[in-house]
Amino acid sequence: MVLLREAREESDAGLVAECRKGDPSAFDELVRRYKDRIYHVVYRFLGNHEDAQDVCQEVFVRAYRGIDGYRGRAKVYTWLYSIAANLARNRLRDGSRKGRNMGTSFEAIEEAAPGAVDRAKAESPRDAAVDAELQTLLQQCLDELPEHYRMAFILRTVEDMSYEQISEVMSCPPGTVKSRLNQARHLLRDRLAELNVL
């Protein structure tokens, strides 16, 4: 068994090898390393804490069950993000069919509309009301993006992933990732301009 202190120093590949040997503390360490980052991305995509917690838990359940199928071609965190992206998309589709109101956090929009969030900072009760309205508006604009644009945008702006990493997570070429990011930025900028936010 891997001791917790040793696990923290062990590489992801080493932890996967220990998991395959049946060491539960090795998988616990993988969860500890990535649970917050996975949760953060899923929450940004879904915009709902409860759904993000559910999806995050399911990511690690599926990873645990599929650890023997992990080939090692991608880094462990990329593999986990791929699972998370697929589950988040499925949850979003399921929610849409059920009429649930799900969204993406507006903060990621800062890259597409620099300064829009800063302008929303409130100094008075009236400004606080305007701030809340702007946050809702920004959230709606981000929610209007097609899933594949939104996921690429979130992985790039929130997780600061490289184009290559995003292409692994989304199973598409890096050029497609660049195109999707560019399109997402244009759509957000255009929509915010239509609404006189920019």
pLDDT in tens, 133-168: 877 787 778 788 898 998 998 889 878 899 999 999
Structure confidence at residue 9 (pLDDT): 52
Is 105-198 in CATH node 1.10.10.10?
A: yes
- Report the 10 Å Cβ neighbour count for 171: 10
Amino acid at 137: L
Structure confidence at residue 111 (pLDDT): 55
Distance from C-alpha of 198 to C-alpha of 190, rounded to nearest angstrom: 9
Residue 178 has pLDDT above 50, yes or no: yes
In which band, very low, low, confident or very high, does the pLDDT at 8 lie, cut at 50, 70 and 90? very low
Tell how far CA 71 is from the center of its chain.
Answer: 23
Which long-range contacts does 58-66 make (Cβ < 8 Å, 24+ apart)? Answer: 58/87, 59/83, 59/84, 59/87, 60/31, 60/35, 62/87, 63/30, 64/19, 64/27
Where do the domains of the chain lie? 1-103, 105-198
Distance from C-alpha of 152 to C-alpha of 180, rounded to nearest angstrom: 7
Report the C-alpha dihedral over residues 27, 49, 83, 62, rounded to 10 degrees.
Answer: 50
pLDDT in tens, 73-111: 888 988 999 999 999 989 888 765 454 544 445 555 555
**Residue among 25, 27, 28, 9 at smallest CA distance from 67:** 27
Structure confidence at residue 114 (pLDDT): 62
Structure confidence at residue 73 (pLDDT): 81
Residue 119 has pLDDT above 50, yes or no: yes
DSSP letter string, 87-150: HHHHHHHHHHHTT------GGGGGGTSTTHHHHT--SSHHHHHHHHHHHHHHHHHHHTS-HHHH
Structure confidence at residue 97 (pLDDT): 47
1-103 to CATH, choices 1.10.1740.10, 3.30.1330.10, 2.60.120.10, 3.30.497.10 = 1.10.1740.10
Structure confidence at residue 102 (pLDDT): 45
pLDDT in tens, 38-70: 998 898 888 788 899 999 999 999 999 999 888
Distance from C-alpha of 52 to C-alpha of 40, rounded to nearest angstrom: 8
Distance from C-alpha of 73 to C-alpha of 78, rounded to nearest angstrom: 10
Distance from C-alpha of 13 to C-alpha of 129, rounded to nearest angstrom: 49
